[in-house]
C-alpha cells in the first residue's frame, strides 16, 4: 500500500473521486493516517500486518465488507484504521466524515451544522455531533505543545448575545441578563506565530495566571491593555508593555494588541455570521477550531485537512460526553 497522498491533491473534486465508495474511503483514510504502512494500535508495530481477505463475505460479527480489518503479525490482534479515532463506531459513512472535515478546514469562518446537514444529507443531530467531534480532534495536538515566545499579546473579549427586554423588566435587569449571557474569551497570540484561546465565566488573576504560565515562555515580552490583573502577572515575564485604550491610545511603536484584536474580529464574524449562537458550554470546543485554523493559516486547505485527520487519533468522543460537558 502506502501510496503517498499529496496535500495539493486534496480538494472537493479529488475527494469526490477518492471517496467514490466506502471501500475507497477506507483505503484513502489508511493512506492518510498510515503513509508508511499499517500501524497496529495494540503494540505499535509498523507495516507488519496483513489485510484480512473477506472475499465479499461478511466479516466477523457480521460487519460489512467495506470494513478493512488487519491482523498484526507481532501481537496477533486485529484492528482497523478507525480504532481509537473520532470516527470509530460511527454509523455515518467515512466519506461523509472526510467531506465534513474538509469543509471545516477550508472555510475560514467555519461551517454551520445546518450546512453539513444539507450537504451530506444527514439528520441535524448527526451533523451537529460530527462537527463537535471534528472540533474535538482539532484540540491540542503537536502544534499546541510549544510555548509562545517573542512578543505575545494577551487580550480578552466577551462572546454572547444581547438579551431581549422582557415585559415589565427594567432596563438594568435586561442589561444584567445580557451580561449573564456573555462569556469571556482570553486569547494569547504570539506575533507571527500561534494562538491559544480559552473561555472563562469571569476574567480573574487566577485564570490569567494559569493561562500565562501554561502557554507563555518566561523570555517573552507581554503586550496587554491596562487591565489591573496583568500588572502583577506581567512581572513574571522578561518584559511587559501596556496600551492605554481608555486614553484613546491604540499603538505606541511596537506596543499594541492589534493581532489579538484581529483574531477576535475573525472569531466574532464567524460566531455571528456562521453559527449565530454558541452556548457557553461548548464555547471552548469552538475556540479549539478557531485556534486550529489560525495556527495552520500558512498551510493549504489540503495540508490543513490532512493535519486534522491525523489529529483524530486517540480522540474518541461519545455523544453523552458532548452533551453533558
Residues in contact with Zn ion by CB under 5 A are: 40, 42-43, 45, 72, 74-75
Provide, rounded to whole angstroms, the least separation between the CB of residue 17 and Zn ion.
Answer: 33
> Per-residue b/e over 111-138, b at no fewer than 16 CB within 10 Å?
bbbebbbeebebeeebbbbbbbbbbbbb
Q: For Zn ion, which is the closer residue by CB, 20 or 42? A: 42
Q: For Zn ion, which is the closer residue by CB, 51 or 146? A: 51
The CB-based long-range contact list for 46-54 (8 Å cut-off, 24+ gap) reads 47/2, 48/72, 48/73, 48/74, 49/73, 49/79, 52/78
Provide, rounded to whole angstroms, the least separation between the CB of residue 72 and Zn ion.
Answer: 3
Provide, rounded to whole angstroms, the least separation between the CB of residue 48 and Zn ion.
Answer: 8
Q: For Zn ion, which is the closer residue by CB, 71 or 90? A: 71
Alpha helical stretches, state H, the chain: 12-18, 22-33, 94-106, 113-120, 124-138, 171-181, 205-215, 228-233, 258-270, 283-295, 301-310, 319-324
Q: For Zn ion, which is the closer residue by CB, 6 or 74? A: 74
- The residues pairing with 51 across neighbouring beta strands, listed in sequence order, are 70
Q: For Zn ion, which is the closer residue by CB, 150 or 314? A: 314
Provide, rounded to whole angstroms, the least separation between the CB of residue 76 and Zn ion.
Answer: 7
Provide, rounded to whole angstroms, the least separation between the CB of residue 190 and Zn ion.
Answer: 40
Note whether 275 and 267 are within 8 A (CB). Answer: no
- Per DSSP, 257 falls in state -
Sign of CA dihedral 120, 125, 128, 130: negative
Q: For Zn ion, which is the closer residue by CB, 37 or 262? A: 37
Non-local (6+) Cβ contacts of 183 within 8 A are 158, 159, 160, 199, 200, 201, 280, 283
Q: For Zn ion, which is the closer residue by CB, 74 or 325? A: 74
Provide, rounded to whole angstroms, the least separation between the CB of residue 79 and Zn ion.
Answer: 8
Provide, rounded to whole angstroms, the least separation between the CB of residue 82 and Zn ion.
Answer: 16
Q: What is the number of alpha carbons within 13 Å of residue 43 lying toward its C-beta?
A: 13
Q: What is the number of alpha carbons within 13 Å of residue 301 lying toward its C-beta?
A: 18
DSSP string computed for 70-128: EEETTT--EE-TTTTBTTTT-SS-HHHHHHHHHHHHH-TT---HHHHHHHHT--HHHHH
Q: For Zn ion, which is the closer residue by CB, 5 or 75? A: 75
Provide, rounded to whole angstroms, the least separation between the CB of residue 47 and Zn ion.
Answer: 11
Amino acid at each position: 500500500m502506502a501510496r503517498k497522498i499529496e496535500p495539493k491533491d486534496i480538494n472537493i473534486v479529488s475527494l469526490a473521486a477518492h471517496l467514490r465508495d466506502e471501500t475507497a474511503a477506507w483505503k484513502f483514510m489508511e493512506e492518510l493516517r498510515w503513509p508508511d504502512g499499517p500501524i497496529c494500535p495494540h503494540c505499535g508495530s509498523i507495516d507488519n500486518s496483513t489485510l484480512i481477505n473477506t472475499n465479499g463475505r461478511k466479516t466477523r460479527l457480521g460487519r460489512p465488507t467495506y470494513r478493512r480489518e488487519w491482523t498484526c503479525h507481532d501481537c496477533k490482534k486485529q484492528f482497523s484504521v478507525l480504532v481509537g479515532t473520532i470516527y470509530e463506531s460511527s454509523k455515518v459513512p467515512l466519506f461523509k466524515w472526510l467531506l465534513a472535515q474538509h469543509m471545516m478546514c477550508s472555510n475560514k469562518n467555519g461551517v454551520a451544522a445546518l450546512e453539513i446537514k444539507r450537504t451530506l444529507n444527514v439528520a441535524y443531530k448527526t451533523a451537529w455531533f460530527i462537527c463537535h467531534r471534528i472540533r474535538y480532534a482539532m484540540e491540542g495536538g503537536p502544534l499546541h505543545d510549544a510555548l509562545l515566545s517573542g512578543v505575545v499579546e494577551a487580550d480578552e473579549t466577551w462572546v454572547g448575545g444581547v438579551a431581549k427586554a422582557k415585559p415589565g423588566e427594567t432596563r438594568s435587569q435586561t442589561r444584567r441578563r445580557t451580561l449573564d449571557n456573555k462569556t469571556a474569551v482570553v486569547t494569547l497570540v504570539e506575533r507571527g506565530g500561534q494562538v491559544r484561546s480559552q473561555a472563562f465565566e469571569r476574567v480573574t488573576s487566577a485564570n490569567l495566571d494559569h493561562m500565562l504560565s501554561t502557554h507563555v515562555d518566561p523570555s517573552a515580552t507581554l503586550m496587554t491593555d491596562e487591565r489591573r490583573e496583568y500588572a502583577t502577572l506581567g512581572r513574571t515575564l522578561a518584559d511587559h508593555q501596556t496600551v492605554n485604550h481608555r486614553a484613546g491610545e491604540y499603538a505606541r511603536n511596537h506596543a499594541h494588541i492589534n493581532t489579538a484584536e484581529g483574531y477576535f474580529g475573525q472569531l466574532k464574524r464567524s460566531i455571528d455570521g456562521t453559527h449565530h449562537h454558541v452556548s457557553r458550554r461548548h464555547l471552548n470546543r469552538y475556540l479549539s477550531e478557531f485556534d486550529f485554523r489560525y495556527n495552520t493559516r500558512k498551510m493549504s486547505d489540503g495540508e490543513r485537512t490532512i493535519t486534522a485527520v491525523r489529529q483524530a487519533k486517540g480522540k474518541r468522543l461519545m455523544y453523552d460526553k458532548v452533551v453533558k460537558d
